[in-house]
C-alpha cells in the first residue's frame, strides 16, 4: 500500500529518479546495513575481537535475500527497538556460534550513520555528474548567445541591456561554485561512525581507535578521528549544499517561467510530444517543468531546515534530531535527483528566441539606454545633477508617450550637453557593457576547472 505521493506509481516520477530510489529503497538500504555489519565483523576479526571463522561466515551468509523481512518488521514493532528486529532476523539465519558475533559492540547509530555516509557517497557522485553536465550545457548556451542582447530587468521592470549569454554564464558560474562545495566537502562528509554507547568506544578497550580506522577503511570511508554521535554538522552541511543547488535550479526555473510568459516570450522550455498544457484552454503551453523546479526547491529547503534543527542535541546521544534525519536526508536526496534530471531535460531543449529579445528591446522606446546617457552627462554636469535632469525628462516622456530620444531632444537643457548624433548612437547601440567579457571569463575558468578535475566524485 502506497500512501506517499512521492512513491506513487502515477506521480513518483515527479519526485525522484529510479537511480536515487535504488539508494534508499528498503531492501537496498537493508543490504547496505548488512554490508556495514560485515565490514565491522571483518575489522574486528583483524584485531582478534571476534573469531575469524565467525566473521567469514557472517560475510558469506549475511544477505537481505535470506532474511525474512516480515519477521524483522514484526520484531521491530514488538521490541520497540530500531534494529533489534534485524538482529533477530540475522540470528535466525546464522548458527548460534556465529550469531553472537554479529553487531558486536556496536549501536544503532554506528550502523545508520555509517550507512548514511555511504548513501552520501553515492548521491554525491550522481549530483556531481549531473551538475557537470548542466554546467556544460549552460556554457554552450553562454557561448552560443554571448552577444544576444536582451532587456535586463531589475525589480521585475526593464532596466538596461544584458545578453542571454551573460545570463546563462551567471547560472553556469553558480553551478561551478556548487561543484567546488561538493569537492571541498567530501573529506568532511565521507567518514565512518563507530562510537559505541556514549562515543568513547569503551566496549573495545584499547583497540577501539584502530578498530574504527579499519572499519571505516573497509567501507571506503575515512576515520573521523572523533565520535560524532551528537555532532550533526556534517549531514547539515551536505543537505544544505543540496538545498543551495536546488535553490539555484529553482532560480533558473523561475527565470524560464517568467520569460516564457507570452508578453515576454524570450525563452520556452521544450515541448514534449503528447504533452497537454490545459484540458480546458488548448492554446496554452504551460512551463510546467520550470515551475516544478521551484516546487522541488521549496520542498528541499523545508527538509533541510529539519536537519539544521537536528544540530541542537543533548549530551552524548539524542534521538530527537538524529532520527528526524532518517526521513529528511533521503527526501532531500530524492527530490534533488528529480530536480537535476528535470533541468537537464529543460536546458538541453531550451528555445531561445533572439528575435523576440530584440523586439522587446525596441519596445522599451530607448528607455533602457538611460544608464549610458547618464554616463555621458555625468562627467560634464555632475552625476547627481544629471540623474535629476534625466529623471524629470523621462517622467515627461512617459506621460507624453515619447521615446527617450524624442524626450531628450525636446529638452534644451539636456540637448546643450548631448549632441544629437551622440544621443542617437547611444540609443541605437543597445550597449550591454562588459557582458561579453564576463562570459568569456566564466567559460575560461570553467574550462580550466573541468580539465583539472575528475569526472567522478569524490
The residue-averaged pLDDT of 132-146 equals 98
The mean per-residue pLDDT over the stretch 325-332 comes to 96
Domain count, the chain: 3
Angle (deg, nearest 10), helices 84-93 and 69-79: 140
Same domain? For 226 and 333 the reply is yes
Identify whether 378 is part of a domain: yes
Percent of the chain with pLDDT over 90: 76
Helical spans, DSSP H, in 349-381:
354-363, 370-381
**Residue 453 and residue 136: Cα distance in Å, rounded?**
14
Q: Where are the alpha helices (DSSP H) in 94-198?
A: 96-99, 108-144, 164-189
Residues 161 and 294 in one domain: yes
pLDDT surpasses 80 at 166: yes
In the predicted structure, residue 277 carries a pLDDT above the cut 80: no
Residue 260 domain flag: yes
**Same-domain pairing of 295 and 408:** no
DSSP 3-state assignment of 417? coil
- At 278 the pLDDT is 66
Residue 189 within any structural domain of the chain: yes
Percent of the chain with pLDDT over 70: 98
**For position 365, what pLDDT does the model report?**
85
Set 155, 283, 315, 384: catalytic member: 155
The per-residue pLDDT for range 65-82, each reduced to its tens digit, is: 999 999 999 999 999 999
Q: Is the pLDDT of residue 451 over 90?
A: yes
**Residue 24: which CATH number?**
1.10.275.10
Q: In the structure, what pLDDT confidence band is assigned to residue 321 with cuts at 50, 70 and 90? A: confident
Of 310, 338, 360, the residue at which a domain comes to its end is 360
178 assigned to active site: no
Q: Are residues 308 and 175 in the same domain?
A: yes
What is the mean predicted confidence (pLDDT) over 230-236? 96
* CA distance linking residue 313 with residue 198, whole number of Å: 13
Q: Is 438 a domain residue?
A: no
Query: Is 272 within 8 Å of 305 (Cβ atoms)?
Result: no
Q: Based on the domain organization, do 114 and 262 belong to the same domain?
A: yes
Provide the pLDDT for residue 414. 75
Q: State the Rg of the chain over Cα.
A: 30
C-alpha distances out from residue 429 to 150, 381, 401, 423, Å:
12, 23, 22, 10
Q: What is the pLDDT of residues 280-293, one digit of tens each?
A: 777 778 889 999 99
Residue 203 domain-assigned? no
The band of 26, judged by pLDDT with boundaries at 50, 70 and 90, is very high
CATH classification at residue 137: 1.20.200.10
Q: How far is CA 257 from the centre of its chain?
A: 19
Contact call for residues 377 and 426 (beta carbons, < 8 A): no
Mean pLDDT of 125-152: 98
Question: Are 154 and 266 contained in the same domain?
Answer: yes
Q: What is the DSSP string of 291-343?
A: HHHHHHHHHHHHHHHHHHHTT---TT--HHHHHHHHHHHHHHHHHHHHHHHHH
| 157-163 and 149-154 strand pairing | antiparallel
- 116 and 249 belong to one structural domain: yes
User: In angstroms, what CA-CA distances link 374 with 153, 265, 334, 408, 414?
Assistant: 18, 29, 50, 12, 11
Q: What is the pLDDT of residue 274?
A: 65
- Give the pLDDT confidence score for residue 445 in this predicted structure: 98
**Does residue 209 lie within any of the structural domains?**
no
- Whether 273 shows a pLDDT value over 80: the answer reads no
HSE, CB side, 13 Å, CA atoms: give it for residue 383. 3
Last residue of a domain, one of 99, 118, 151: 99
Q: Is 222 helix (H, G, I), strand (E, B) or coil?
A: strand
108-112, 255-259, 319-323, 389-393: which has the minimum mean pLDDT?
389-393
Q: How far, in Å, CA of 241 to CA of 333, rounded?
A: 11
Is 16 one of the annotated active-site residues of the chain? Answer: no
What's the pLDDT at 284?
A: 72
Task: Report the pLDDT value the prediction gives residue 131, as an integer from 0 to 100.
Answer: 98
- Is residue 264 within 8 Å of residue 153, measured between CB atoms? no
Does residue 455 surpass a pLDDT of 70? yes
Q: Based on the domain organization, do 126 and 229 belong to the same domain?
A: yes
* Catalytic member of 8, 63, 278, 434: 278
Tell me: do 71 and 121 sit in the same domain: no
In a domain, 403, yes or no: yes
Structure confidence at residue 376 (pLDDT) = 78
Nearest to 61 by CA among 103, 94, 110: 94
Q: Which carries the bigger pLDDT value, residue 274 or residue 357?
A: 357
Range from 112-121, 236-245, 424-433 carrying the lowest mean pLDDT: 424-433
- CA dist 456 and 458 (Å) reads 6
369 and 355 fall within a common domain: no
Mean pLDDT of the chain: 92
pLDDT band at 409; cut points 50, 70, 90 = confident
- pLDDT reported for residue 313: 93
* Cell numbers at 250, concatenated: 529553482
**pLDDT score of 387:** 85
Phi/psi-derived region of residue 351, left when phi > 0, alpha when psi is between -120 and 50, beta in every other case: beta
Q: How many CB atoms lie within 10 A of CB 1?
A: 2
User: What are the tens digits of pLDDT across the range 36-58?
Assistant: 999 999 999 999 999 999 999 99
Residue-number span of the structural domain to which 42 is assigned: 13-99
Same domain, yes or no: 141 and 84: no
Does 85 share its domain with 56?
A: yes
**Mean pLDDT for the stretch of residues 148-176:** 96
Query: Where is the domain boundary, 69, 99, 129?
Result: 99
Assign 121 a pLDDT band (cuts: 50, 70, 90).
Answer: very high
What angle do helix axes 435-452 and 108-144 make, rounded to 10 degrees?
A: 140
What's the confidence (pLDDT) of residue 381? 82
pLDDT of residue 138: 98
Q: 259 or 416, which is more confident?
A: 259
Closest CA to 330 of 21, 19, 7, 14: 21
Position 426 in a domain: no
62, with CB counted inside 10 A (0-12, 13-18, 19+), is buried
C-alpha 396/C-alpha 407 separation (Å) is 7
* Environment class of 221 (CB within 10 Å of its CB; exposed 0-12, middle 13-18, buried 19+): buried
Question: What angle is formed at CA 453 by the lines to CA 449 and CA 456, rounded to 5 degrees?
Answer: 135
Cell of 77: 514493532
Which of 247, 243, 256 is CA-nearest to residue 289?
256
Q: Give the pLDDT confidence of 334-367 residue by residue, as tens digits.
A: 999 999 999 999 999 999 999 999 999 988 888 8
pLDDT at 299 over 80: yes
Amino acid at each position: 500500500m502506497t500512501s506517499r505521493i512521492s512513491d506513487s506509481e502515477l506521480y513518483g516520477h515527479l519526485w525522484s529518479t529510479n537511480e536515487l530510489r535504488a539508494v534508499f529503497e528498503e531492501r537496498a538500504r537493508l543490504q547496505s546495513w548488512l554490508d556495514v555489519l560485515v565490514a565491522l565483523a571483518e575489522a574486528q576479526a583483524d584485531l582478534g575481537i571476534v573469531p575469524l571463522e565467525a566473521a567469514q561466515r557472517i560475510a558469506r551468509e549475511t544477505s537481505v535475500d535470506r532474511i525474512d523481512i516480515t519477521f524483522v518488521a514484526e520484531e521491530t514493532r514488538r521490541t520497540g527497538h530500531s534494529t533489534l528486529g534485524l538482529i533477530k532476523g540475522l540470528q535466525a539465519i546464522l548458527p548460534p556460534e556465529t550469531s553472537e558475533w554479529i553487531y558486536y559492540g556496536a549501536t544503532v547509530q554506528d550502523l545508520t550513520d555509517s550507512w548514511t555516509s555511504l548513501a552520501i557517497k553515492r548521491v554525491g557522485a550522481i549530483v556531481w555528474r549531473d551538475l557537470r553536465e548542466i554546467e556544460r550545457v549552460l556554457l554552450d548556451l553562454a557561448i552560443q548567445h554571448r552577444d544576444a542582447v536582451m532587456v535586463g530587468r531589475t525589480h521585475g521592470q526593464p532596466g538596461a541591456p544584458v545578453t542571454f549569454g551573460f545570463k546563462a554564464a551567471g547560472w553556469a558560474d553558480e553551478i561551478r561554485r556548487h561543484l567546488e562545495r561538493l569537492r571541498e566537502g567530501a573529506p568532511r562528509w565521507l567518514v565512518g561512525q563507530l562510537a559505541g554507547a556514549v562515543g568513547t568506544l569503551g566496549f573495545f578497550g584499547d583497540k577501539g581507535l584502530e578498530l574504527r580506522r579499519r572499519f571505516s577503511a573497509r567501507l571506503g570511508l575515512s576515520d573521523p578521528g572523533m565520535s560524532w554521535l551528537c555532532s550533526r554538522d556534517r549531514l547539515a552541511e551536505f543537505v544544505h549544499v543540496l538545498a543551495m543547488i536546488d535553490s539555484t535550479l529553482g532560480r533558473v526555473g523561475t527565470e524560464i517561467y517568467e520569460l516564457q510568459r507570452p508578453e515576454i516570450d524570450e525563452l520556452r522550455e521544450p515541448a514534449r510530444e503528447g504533452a497537454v498544457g490545459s484540458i480546458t484552454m488548448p492554446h496554452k503551453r504551460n512551463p510546467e517543468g520550470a515551475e516544478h523546479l521551484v516546487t522541488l526547491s521549496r520542498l528541499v529547503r523545508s527538509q533541510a531546515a529539519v536537519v539544521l534543527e537536528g544540530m541542537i542535541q543533548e549530551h552524548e546521544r539524542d534521538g530527537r534530531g538524529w532520527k528526524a534525519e532518517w526521513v529528511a536526508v533521503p527526501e532531500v536526496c530524492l527530490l534533488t535527483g528529480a530536480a537535476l534530471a528535470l533541468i537537464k531535460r529543460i536546458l538541453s531543449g531550451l528555445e531561445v528566441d533572439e528575435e523576440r529579445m530584440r523586439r522587446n528591446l525596441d519596445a522599451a522606446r530607448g528607455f533602457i539606454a538611460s544608464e549610458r546617457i547618464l554616463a555621458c552627462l555625468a562627467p560634464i554636469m555632475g552625476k547627481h545633477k544629471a540623474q535629476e535632469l534625466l529623471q524629470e525628462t523621462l517622467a515627461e516622456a512617459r506621460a507624453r508617450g515619447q521615446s527617450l530620444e524624442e524626450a531628450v531632444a525636446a529638452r534644451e537643457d539636456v540637448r546643450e550637453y548631448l549632441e544629437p548624433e551622440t544621443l542617437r548612437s547611444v540609443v541605437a547601440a543597445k550597449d550591454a557593457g562588459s557582458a561579453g567579457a564576463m562570459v568569456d571569463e566564466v567559460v575560461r575558468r570553467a574550462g580550466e576547472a573541468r580539465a583539472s578535475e575528475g569526472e567522478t566524485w569524490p
